[in-house]
Copies of this chain bind each other. A is one copy, B any other.
Amino acid sequence: MTAPTRQECRRFHQAALDLAARARRIVRRAVPGRLGVRRKPDRSLVTDVDLGVERALRAEITNRFPSHGIIGEELPPRLPTAAYQWILDPVDGTLSFVHGLPLFGTIVALHHHGRPVAGVIDHPMLGTTYSAGRGLGAWRNGTRLRIRDAARTDLGDEIVSAADRSRFVELGAGRAFDRLVRTHRHVRGYYDCVAHSWAAEGSIGAVVDYGVRLWDLAATRLLVEEAGGRYVVCATRGDGAEARYGIIAGKPNVVRWLVGIFGRRT
């Protein structure tokens, strides 16, 4: 269980960026109205593009890193006991993607024994790529991200992203959600990974996201922490690949304030 060296982290960070760039080319070639949209058993949407991206990334990972495992949203795990695991969400925010809204993204991350080593969130239609490598900082389109914390007296001016009340209810946080919405002026419902990207760059004070799965979160912790922010798991439900999480990530003082409302996993 030797941790990856700094040089390995650099190489994996670059590999994650390469994979995201490959995904972006496939997504941008997609023709609106011919996406091959279907519903999965859980009623969420999947398209031929989701599957095409995941297959392309799996082929590239298997080729470059044959001993590494792969966990993707759309296809079965590969080498589930390997120390290194690539975690992929080819199109996070499929509802937005299908409707032509630019707020979706591709998530690519590498974990080593469960600890994040590299992570990328790429937004093909916004033209922004957020990436981080362990010990290497967080970046947006090549510019270093450094979160400036909010003053504790100015928390009322911070935008907090929290969407989908029903998913908070499912994880027992319906009352906390209502309390936040009732008492804070700037709660906005930014969905999916774009809210995580905006938290990592400090555009919003924090994202509170409940009901998310492993691949939805795979890049977020490293992105936010390498940018100087704070990441807290507040709730979990279920185990293994089925587990759903509630997390808060963003500026340290905003996260502390919100953990006071939502609590944290004990």
Which residues of A are at the interface with B, using a C-beta cutoff of 8 A? 95, 99-102, 126-127, 159, 163, 186, 188-189, 191, 198, 201, 203-204
Cross-interface CB contact of A95 among B127, B159, B201, cutoff 8 Å? B159
Q: Measured between C-beta atoms, what is the minimum distance from A71 to chain B in Å? A: 28
A204 and B159 in contact (CB under 8 A), knowing A126-B126, A188-B189, A189-B188? no
> Binding site of A, secondary structure by majority: helix, strand, loop or mixed?
loop
B189 touches A189 (CB 8 A): yes
B204 touches A101 (CB 8 A): yes
Determine how many copies of this chain the complex contains: 2
Q: Measured between C-beta atoms, what is the minimum distance from A174 to chain B in Å? A: 14
Query: B residues within 8 A CB of A191?
Result: 188
Contact sample, A vs B, 19 pairs, CB 8 Å cutoff: A95-B159, A95-B186, A99-B159, A99-B203, A99-B204, A100-B201, A100-B203, A101-B159, A101-B198, A101-B203, A101-B204, A102-B126, A126-B126, A127-B127, A163-B188, A163-B189, A188-B189, A188-B191, A189-B189
- State the CA gap A201–B33 with chains docked (Å): 13
Query: B residues within 8 A CB of A126?
Result: 102, 126
Query: B residues within 8 A CB of A163?
Result: 188-189
Query: B residues within 8 A CB of A188?
Result: 163, 189, 191
Q: Measured between C-beta atoms, what is the minimum distance from A264 to chain B in Å? A: 26
Query: B residues within 8 A CB of A189?
Result: 163, 188-189
- State the CA gap A159–B248 with chains docked (Å): 26
Query: B residues within 8 A CB of A198?
Result: 101
Query: B residues within 8 A CB of A203?
Result: 99-101
Which single residue of chain B is at the shortest CB-CB distance from A159? Answer: B99
Q: Measured between C-beta atoms, what is the minimum distance from A185 to chain B in Å? A: 9
Which single residue of chain B is at the shortest CB-CB distance from A100? Answer: B203
Which single residue of chain B is at the shortest CB-CB distance from A165? Answer: B181
Given contacts A95-B159, A101-B198, A101-B203, 4 further A-B contacts (CB under 8 A): A99-B203, A101-B159, A101-B204, A188-B191
